[in-house]
Amino acid sequence: MAYRFESANQQELARVWQAAPSQVQPVIETWLRSVQMHMEGEVKQLTPVRDGTLRNSIAALPLETHAMGVTAVIGVDPDAKSALGTSLNYAIPVELGTKPHDIKPKNKRALVFTIAGRQVFAGAVKHPGTKGAFMFSRAFDANVGKIQDDLNDLVRSIGMQLGVL
C-alpha cells in the first residue's frame, strides 16, 4: 500500500537533467530530502500512539532520482522501497482499519487480558474492528499539490538558470 507522486512535467525535468546532470541531481535530491523530513513530521503527527513503536518506525528512506523523473512513495512498505514509510506489519491495519473479526489464542488454550483491573480468560473474542487512522493518506492528500507545484517551480528555476527552458 503506497501513495505516489511524480514530477508532473517529465519532459521539462528530462531536458534540464540532460543539460547538466551533475548540477541538477544534487539540487533535486536536497529538495527531496527536505520534502521527506516535512512529510515524516506530518505522518508522525497523525499517527496514533499506544507505545510509540509505530510512530518511531516511520522514517525517510533512500530516494530514487533519475533523468526520466522523480518518484517518491510514502506508505507502508515491507520491502522498504518507499521514500517515507515503515516496515511494521501492523501499520496497514492501523492505516486502513480492520473489519470485525474473531481473535483466538495461537499457542495457548485461552486468551488472557485485564479489564478494569481484573484478569479475564476467554476462548475467543469478537473484536468489533477498528477505524483507520489514514495517517499516510491524509498527510499525502494535504501536501501532494504543494509538493508537485514546488517541484515544477524548482525544475523551471534550474532550467532558466541553465538556459534550457
Average pLDDT of the chain, as a whole number: 85
Residue for cell digits 525544475? 155
Residue spans per domain, the chain: 2-98+130-162
CA 66/CA 25 separation, integer angstroms = 8
The whole model's pTM is what? Answer: 0.79
CA 62/CA 121 separation, integer angstroms = 46
CA 66/CA 87 separation, integer angstroms = 25
Give 74 or 89, the one with higher predicted confidence: 89
Dmax over CA atoms of the chain, in Å, equals: 73
Q: What is the pLDDT of residues 3-23, one digit of tens each?
A: 776 666 778 888 998 999 899
Residues 151-157: what's their mean pLDDT?
Answer: 91
Contacts of residue 52, defined as CB under 8 A and 6 or more positions apart, other chains included, come to: none
Residue for cell digits 496514533? 48
Q: Which residues partner with 113 through β-bridges?
A: 120
Residue 72: per-residue pLDDT: 57
Q: What is the pLDDT of residues 84-137, one digit of tens each?
A: 888 888 999 999 999 999 999 999 899 999 999 999 999 999 999 999 999 999
Q: What grid cell was written down for 125? A: 473474542
Asked if the model's pLDDT at residue 81 lies above 60, the reply is: no
Residue 43: per-residue pLDDT: 94
Contacts of residue 141, defined as CB under 8 A and 6 or more positions apart, other chains included, come to: none
With a pLDDT cut of 90, the percent of the chain lying above it is 52
Amino acid occupying residue 50? R
Cβ atoms of 5 and 35 closer than 8 Å: no
